[in-house]
Every structure is written in structure tokens, then in C-alpha cells.
Chain A
Amino acid sequence: MATPKDAIKEKSMIIQKEMLTKQFQELSKAKELGKKVVYTFVPGNLIELILAFDMLPVYPEINALQSGMRKKSGGFIKDAEKMGHSEDVCTYVKCDIGMMLNGNIGPTGDKIPEPDLLLLSYTGCFTFLKWFENLNRLYPNAEIAMLHTPYQEAGKMTKEQVDYMVKQLKEEVIPKMEKVSGNKYDPEKLKKLLRNSVQSEDYWVKILQTAKNKPSPIDAYFAGVYYMGPINTSFRGTEECVQYYKELYDEVTERAQQKLLPVTPEGIIPEEKFRLVVEGPPNWTNFREFWKIFYDMGAVIVASTYTKVGGLFDMGYRQNPEQPLESIAEYCMGCYTNMNLPQRVDLIEKYIKEYKADGFLINSIKSCNSFSAGQLMIMREIEQRTGVPVGFIESDLVDPRYFSYANIKNRLESYFQMLEQRKIILQQETV
């Protein structure tokens, strides 16, 4: 394996870094630039609409995950607990509240501006609603708009649900955006942004699908969380986002042609021993260590559900610029955690088969009932349907108290041994 100094800095990585730096700089100067700031959530976000009104988004979950990666979340969580929050609840919320209690300093060290609009579109998680009630009390002067996204309880979206959302967009969200931004809603501008989104989505899907190659040129979980950043957060709809995904696609296809394996912080993985599908978010406080356990064992994640929290483009969904609001409604409803449990099981089964995975692993997150409640049943179903070995580990998103390296490593080592044995048996059977 390559040493850290050999690690390849791909062009796409540099582009993404520049995009993020520019975004945070813009945010820190929002008031000077006369730009209004919208706090909103990642899953099912309305970024094209926000951009159509020339506003800047802030995603509290992204702040929380960044705090986790920068080892600040532990302190923030404790501060939120000191003000009365229970140990038992979602740590993203507590991390965010703790960050605000400490001056709302963002990942770049600049203060994150206060919101002009709190835009609650709570796709797939009830906790978002509570989170926003808390934000509303912290920022009583901000305008607040709510977009209720119905759950795909029947395993599909209905026309009535779409109509409900479109009405909310027209009567609640857009008027509030007009009021806050001082700009009129411009459907043509929105359509243009959506056209860009479609282009990015096309590239993104092609990138994800390169993992069908053996060996896979990407890790669709650990690297996937970086790759998904622009499309799932502030950049979908922009031209620079299209450029980013085009560049990334070129890089990945080149790697696939050369039969190169995924790039890790320590270089390129030398051998693909196991192909896995992973369910659940990663841990952020010990992200590198966590990833290392996998790449040291030659385990490559070929598909993950977490990278679909911003939408299932790989299952065919695309924005429709000709019906912008309807298509935004479908986008919101289509995100992974807004799918019912049978849909989630079907999707995972499909991934295991299509990506020819050797195993299925769940990283169950203490904080996140939206993902975690029901995962043990998902595991049983997948085991029955596919026969691949299933593994189960537990950690947390941003609470370092719930990441036990030794425990996770032990469990994963036993799991990889199980995969190894199964491989040997399968090879013997085919001989």
C-alpha cells in the first residue's frame, strides 16, 4: 500500500475543497453581500429554490458532522446536556445546539451568520421537527417556513401527496422566500437550475455504478460521503456542481479502465478482498480509524444506503425542469429515509445482487431512530433473501462516547473471517 505522502490528491478533491471554501467565505460575508441566510436540512432539501432566490443555505447537520470530524462535538454535546438535554436523544441536535451556545463558529473558524429564514422540510426524520422548534426559540426573529413531506407509507408516492406538497410550496414556502429575499419567484431561473441538477445527477449515477466493476474503482461509503457532498447540499443546480461531477466521473472511469482500486487517505487499496453493501450513516468522530479497519482488510463498500439520503437518483429519479414544483415534491419524498421499511429492504437486496456483494453490514447509529429503528429486522430479511453474511456494529454520528474502537474492530474482524470462510466454501463448491 502507498504511504500517506503518496496519497493522490485528485483534481475533483481540489475542486470540491475550493467550492466549500468559497461557500463558507460567502457565508461569513453574507451580511456585507446583502445575502439572506436559510437554515435547512439535507434530506429532501430545496436547494434549487434557495438558489433561485439568491439566498445562502446553512445545514445544521453538516455543521454537526464537521464538528464531529474536528473533534469538537464531544464538548458541544456536553454543553447541550448541561442545559438540560437528555443523554438519550439525537446527538446531531445536541451538537448543533452546543455549537450555537459556543458562538456558532463554523468549520472554517468564521462565525456562521444567524438565519433570516428557518426552512423546515423534514424529510424522513421526525427529530427534525423538534430540532426546528428548538432553533425557532433560539432565533425568534427569523422567519420560519414548514414543508411537511409525507412518508412513503404505502411504498410509493401518490398524486395526492405531490399535490399537498406543491400547495405548501406555493402557499407557504415560496411566499416566505419572496418575503425574506425581497426577490420575486422566477420559474425560469428555477428551471435552469434544475437542468443543471439533472446533469449532475446523471454523472453521479454513472459514478456510483462504476462500483459494479470488479474491482470497484470507488468506495461508495467512505469516499461516497465526500462524493455526495455537492449534490446533496449547497451546490445541486449550479454549473460548478456539473463540472465537479464531470471531473469526478472522468477520474473514476480512468481508474476503472486501469483496474485501480479506491483511493484512501493512505493511498490506493492494493486488493479487493470483500465487496460490501453498508446500511446506516458512518461515524464522524473517528471516521479515518473506522475506514482504515475496512481498507486494511481489503473491504470495499460497493453500495451504501447513506449516500441516498439525498435521493435515489440511481433508481431513475431525475428533476423535471418542465414541472419544477411537482418534481421538487417528488425529490423530497424520494429520499432514502422517507421510504418505508419494505422498500428499504428491497433496495438493499437489489444492491447486493446488482453490485455482486459478498456481505451486508449495518452500522447502527445510537442517535438516529430514523435509520436504526427496524434495522435488526432489515438484517434478518436480507439474510433470508440473499444468504450473504450479515454483520452488525454500533456507533454514533458525533458522540465520541459511543465509538468503541476495540469493540468495533473485534466485531469486524470476526465478520471478515466469516466472509473469508464463506468465500473458500463457495470456491470449493464451484470447483
Chain B
Amino acid sequence: MQSIDELLTYCEKVAFDLNFAHAKNWKSQNEKRVIVGYLPIYVPREVIHASSGLPVGIMGVGDRKQIIKGDAYYQSYICHLPRGVIEMALDKNLDGFDGFLFPAICDCIRNLSGMYKLAHKGKFQRYFDYPQNFDPKIGGVFYIQEMEKVMDDIFNINGVRADVNSLNNSIRLYNINRRLIEAIYDIRQEFPWRLSAVETYHILRAGIAMPVEEHNEILKQVLDYIQTDRGEPMDNIRVVVSGSFCEQPPIGLIKSIEMAGCYIVDDDFMLGSRWILGDVEENTDDPLQALTNAYLYQSQFSSAYYDVGNPKGKRLVAQANKRGADGIIFSAASFCDPALLDRPEMQKECDEAGIPHINFQYHENTGQFKVIKEQAGTFSDSIKLWA
């Protein structure tokens, strides 16, 4: 068994290897294996896994790669994420990927799917649409068709068709993954010093670049380690961070929030891995229907999800209360329409619920956090003072 520090170092390395060597190495061991890259936020990874595929999350380049070519593809008023994703493709970081999925979250990602088509990257480049109709007989049918298209795409490459057994098995493995992640968040809620937000982030982000089986083992070990105390508790407030679901905040930003006196007890950084709340039914004759039901009825709130009838502001307040948070930090990527357009209403809900909040904007490659640290520090101090 590795020490927790070894595990954390390993996770950080896998999470930020922009050449995805770990995934490519996995693929090279069997000719039926395929790698399917997916953009934020969520895709039902089970259908890829069950087709002998490795779903690999492409979350941008952060501050680990200088953007040169990508900037020539995007105007200054478009967020950063797609620049890095294009740069990676042009720099051959993604060679060896068999296909790409672009989930419906915004028009940038949507149009990026077309750019990949024009650049002929991978054997398929699919915009993965989500039903915004939540009737199982209407939106549900549509969603099953979307998943079947992905299964066809993979079948056309490796001849492997996911069946009831393989899908049930994949669902079971991802259920374990989700449960373990939530268990870690539950422990952190009470003892956030045992695993910092940055460490948690590295562990989760590594999970989207390695097989779920391996990630489950890592999560189990981490969970074991944090059953007992690790680190020193500090006089920090507890916050939920919201709005960072797509373009990822730089690690320095997450660090700054914690160093300024705020324990992050929940967040939407790696939302895709935590999208489905609870288990997906794992022993059914119709696993695609099970995945569909999970999407229709167990989705986490998000800016990608039409929320009339169940407004996300109310759900954010409920999440903050459940986690015992003292405040909410709205932290969105600059020019991120989905996150930023949701913000005023969510803030209003916080005001009505009496939950203090502040907001930041960032780019994935922001290098200076002085101002953010000061703001978060003042936020923390004011809550401590008035609590």
C-alpha cells in the first residue's frame, strides 16, 4: 500500500499529464481498447466503459501549457477553455484518442465540436445533446438514442458492442466511484483539514484520466487514510464554491481560497464525476433506461440543465445548508455565459436565505491571486466576526 503522499503525487501527475500517457498506455495493451475524450461537464461514461473504452475528461490546459496557436482561433471575448483544447489537438497531445464527445453545455463547446470535425481530429467527433424535456417517453427516448449513437461510434472502431451485462458491470463500477467520492466529501465536510481542497481536486481529476477500476482503488485507500486525523484544524470558515464546472480554476486559486481562511466543503469543479446523485440501477434488463432515469431524475443542478420547476439557486442553498457552509463563493470563468447568466438569480436566493457570498472571475491560466486572496480573507473574517 502506498503512502497518502505517494498517492497524491501520483494523482497530480496523472491529472495534469496533458499527453495522457497513462490512458494511452492502457490502450496499447489491447487492440480492442479505445480512448474517447470528452469535454466538460458530464457524459454517461458507463456506455464508453462497457464498449471497451476509456472515457478521458479533457478539462483544458490550465496553467500548464502556454497558449500560442489556440489564441489565433478565438476572439478575446471567448473563454479560455476551448483555446487550450484546440492547442492540444494541434500539438498532437490528443493523438491516439479515437473519438471525442462534446456535451451540450454552451455554444462554445458546441461549435468546438465542429472545429474538431473540420480539423478531422479522431475517428468521430460528436456533439452529445441532452434532452431538455424530462418526460421519459419523450426526452428519455431521445437520450437513449444519443447514447446509442456513441455505442455505434465505438463499435465502428473496435467491433465491441456494449450489452446488458457489460453495461450493468460498468454502472456498478461507476456507482462505487460515485459513492467513494461522496464519502470523501462527507468526511471533508466534518474534517476538511484531513484532505485539502487541492488534494481532493487532484484525486478527482486523476479519475477522469485513468480506468475507473484503478481510480476506485485509489479512492478506497484515500478514504482509509482520512478516517483518522491528518493535518491541523484551523479557524477557517466553510464555503461552497459554485460556477467552476467547465473551465477549471487554476490550482493557485483553489489554494488561495483555502489559505485565505475558507475550507471548501463542496464545489462543482469536477462536476461530471459527481453529476448523478446516488446510485444508478445496476441490475436491470435495460441499463440504458437506468442511465436515462438517472439523468432525468438524479442530476445535480447545473447551468447546463434547464431548471424551471426546480431552480438551481434553491438547490445551491440546500447544498450549502446540508454541508453546514457559512458562505458561498461564486467563482466563474470569464466569458462563461452559462455560469455568469445564472449568477444573479443564485445570489438572490442566497440573499433570501441569509447566506453570505462573494464572487470572482478567473481564466484557467490566471497567475495572480493576490486580490482573490484578499477578498476571500475579508469574506472569511467578516463571517467570523458576525457569526
B216 within 8 A of A: no
Q: Tell me the A133-158 residues at the B interface (CB within 8 Å).
A: 133-134, 136-137, 144, 146, 148, 150-151, 153-154
Contact B78–A369 (Cβ < 8 Å) = yes
Please give the distance in Å from B310's CB to the nearest CB on chain A: 11
Contact A84–B343 (Cβ < 8 Å) = yes
Contact A126–B308 (Cβ < 8 Å) = no
Contact A83–B129 (Cβ < 8 Å) = no
Point out the residues of chain B lying under 8 angstroms from A340, CB to CB: 113-114, 117, 127
B67 within 8 A of A: no
Contact of B340 among A89, A167, A172 (CB under 8 A): A89
Measured between alpha carbons, how far is A134 from B338 in the docked complex, in Å? Answer: 12
Contact A89–B132 (Cβ < 8 Å) = no
Point out the residues of chain A lying under 8 angstroms from B344, CB to CB: 83-85
A130 within 8 A of B: yes
Task: Determine, out of B133-141, B182-190, B201-209, B291-299, the stretch whose residues face the partner at the interface.
Answer: B133-141
Known: A148-B131, A148-B133, A376-B75. A369 touches B107 (CB 8 A): yes
Measured between alpha carbons, how far is A366 from B75 in the docked complex, in Å? Answer: 8
A88 within 8 A of B: yes
Point out the residues of chain B lying under 8 angstroms from A137, CB to CB: 311, 345
Measured between alpha carbons, how far is A370 from B77 in the docked complex, in Å? Answer: 13
B380 within 8 A of A: no
Measured between alpha carbons, how far is A95 from B137 in the docked complex, in Å? Answer: 37
What is the total of A-B residue contacts with beta carbons within 8 Å? 151
A372 within 8 A of B: yes
Contact A146–B115 (Cβ < 8 Å) = no
Q: Which of the four size classes fits the interface of chain A?
A: 35 or more
* Chain A, interface SS category: helix
A159-192 vs B, CB cutoff 8 Å, 1 = contact: the mask equals 0100010011001100000000000000000000
Q: Report which residue of B73, B75, B138, B341 has the largest number of chain A beta carbons within 10 angstroms of its beta carbon.
A: B341
Nearest A-chain residue to B333, judged by Cβ: A88
Contact A160–B337 (Cβ < 8 Å) = no
Contact A125–B341 (Cβ < 8 Å) = no
Point out the residues of chain A lying under 8 angstroms from B126, CB to CB: 153-154
Point out the residues of chain A lying under 8 angstroms from B285, CB to CB: none
A264 within 8 A of B: no
Please give the distance in Å from A78's CB to the nearest CB on chain B: 14
Q: Tell me the B312-357 residues at the A interface (CB within 8 Å).
A: 332, 334-338, 340-345, 347-348
Contact B141–A164 (Cβ < 8 Å) = yes
Please give the distance in Å from A400's CB to the nearest CB on chain B: 16
A278 within 8 A of B: no
B26 within 8 A of A: no
Nearest A-chain residue to B141, judged by Cβ: A164
B65-107 vs A, CB cutoff 8 Å, 1 = contact: the mask equals 0000000111101100010000000000000000000001111
B173 within 8 A of A: no
B221 within 8 A of A: no
Contact B117–A369 (Cβ < 8 Å) = no
Measured between alpha carbons, how far is A369 from B333 in the docked complex, in Å? Answer: 15
Measured between alpha carbons, how far is A129 from B367 in the docked complex, in Å? Answer: 33
Contact of B74 among A151, A168, A373 (CB under 8 A): A373
Contact A373–B131 (Cβ < 8 Å) = no
Point out the residues of chain B lying under 8 angstroms from A84, CB to CB: 343-344, 347-348
Nearest A-chain residue to B307, judged by Cβ: A133
Known: A376-B74, A377-B73. A342 touches B338 (CB 8 A): no
B110 within 8 A of A: yes
Nearest B-chain residue to A158, judged by Cβ: B145
Contact B142–A160 (Cβ < 8 Å) = yes
Contact B75–A374 (Cβ < 8 Å) = no
Measured between alpha carbons, how far is A366 from B334 in the docked complex, in Å? Answer: 13
Please give the distance in Å from A390's CB to the nearest CB on chain B: 14
B107-134 vs A, CB cutoff 8 Å, 1 = contact: the mask equals 1101111110110000000110101110
10 nearest CB pairs, A to B: A341-B114, A84-B344, A153-B127, A374-B111, A130-B341, A86-B340, A148-B132, A369-B107, A373-B111, A370-B107
Known: A154-B126, A164-B138. 18 other contacts (CB 8 A): A85-B340, A86-B332, A89-B341, A122-B132, A125-B107, A126-B104, A126-B105, A126-B107, A130-B341, A133-B311, A164-B131, A164-B142, A168-B133, A172-B138, A374-B73, A376-B72, A376-B75, A377-B118
